A and B are shown apart, each in its own frame.
Chain A
């Protein structure tokens, strides 16, 4: 079946450090891939997405590239800020309408 696996958290970084959150997926066919972010006490917001192999999604300094050969969609940011502290969810969607989420990775950025 379809599934998403993310790296275990929490991830703790100092401000301006480089961020990578690993995400790999298992799916039949060609899913769309998403990163959602959940700030403390809030709902989920779409951060970025990619719909086909080799697409790069980007937003607010975050990037992720859809790698079909490694079934990965790792999230990266060159310089994190305290305001990036949140829970990050990798997700996939096939033509069923269901979003399949990873378990979420908590990011804490310290000044």
Chain B
């Protein structure tokens, strides 16, 4: 009965590869997010989708492409991985867009690019 789940939990890959991270929420929320946590634990938003529509796109390289097949799923595809992409990526969801409501986070995907 996990609320926000992510797969995989760990991802180790070579520079230049393409990889995807998947996120699913069973809370019935309309809005989902991707955050990146760097090696110093700093968290920054990358993207947000509301009911399959992209609503937040921060200054992120276009090697990162989010996709939302339905409002319960938000995936993150990364092309041509670089060493600097090594981080923990968190998915989150909230009931609605453009509000100050609580966001619920997944367990994170720890990406290591070698």
Contact = CB atoms under 8 A, between A and B. Distances in A.
Interface of A: 31-32, 34, 36, 38, 42-46, 49, 51, 87, 89, 93-99, 101, 103-104, 106
Nearest to A89: B43
Interface string B20-49: 000000000001010100001111110010
Contacts of B104: 46
A43 B100 contact: no
Given A32-B100, A97-B31, A97-B94, A103 B108 contact: no
Interface of B: 31, 33, 35, 40-45, 48, 50, 55-56, 90, 92, 94, 97-108
Contact of B105 (A43, A51, A97, A103): A43
Contacts of B92: 44, 99
Contacts of B43: 44, 89, 99, 101, 104
Nearest to B9: A41
Contacts of A87: 41
Given A43-B90, A44-B90, A101 B44 contact: yes
Nearest to A44: B105
Contact of B98 (A42, A95, A99): A95
Contacts of A106: 41
Contacts of B106: 43
Given A36-B105, A101-B44, 6 more contacts: A38-B41, A49-B102, A93-B100, A97-B55, A99-B92, A104-B43
A97 B99 contact: yes
Contacts of A95: 98-100
A93 B106 CA distance: 19
Contact of A94 (B42, B97, B100, B103): B100
Contact of A98 (B40, B45, B105): B45
B23 to A, nearest CB: 11
A45 B108 CA distance: 12
A42 B55 CA distance: 27
A106 to B, nearest CB: 8
A46 B42 contact: no
